[in-house]
Amino acid sequence: MIKQLAQLKPGEAGVITNLRGTGNIKHRLIDMGLVPGTAVRVMKFAPLGDPVEIKVKNFDLALRVSEAATIDVDTSQEA
């Protein structure tokens, strides 16, 4: 099942299938290792809901929810 990364709940995981961002934001996400085929896991959301902390390639990363919404994740593939 394909979901946006921002829609996942803490503890849920999947594999990145697509980056829908454009311009500098898309390039910055790619530079941080968020490329199709990469496993990601949502760790937690900040108390007010933004940002979201994820684990990718064995390190923790905080993203704005608006950035996480541009990343499609296949949750049927376990990370």
Tens digit of each residue's pLDDT (9 = 90 or more) over 55-66: 998 899 999 999
Evaluate whether residue 38 is within a structural domain.
Answer: yes
Q: Which runs of consecutive H residues, i.e. helices, occur in the chain? A: 23-31, 65-68
How many structural domains are present in the chain? 1
pLDDT for res 63: 93
**What's the CATH number where 14 sits?**
2.30.30.90
Evaluate whether residue 10 is within a structural domain.
Answer: yes
Q: Is 14 exposed, middle or buried (0-12, 13-18, 19+ CB in 10 A)?
A: buried
pLDDT for res 76: 86
Domain that holds residue 57: 2-74
pLDDT for res 11: 92
Evaluate whether residue 46 is within a structural domain.
Answer: yes
Q: What is the pLDDT of residues 43-59, one digit of tens each?
A: 999 988 889 999 998 89
Q: Categorize the per-residue pLDDT at 78 as very low, low, confident or very high, splitting at 50, 70 and 90.
A: low
Evaluate whether residue 79 is within a structural domain.
Answer: no
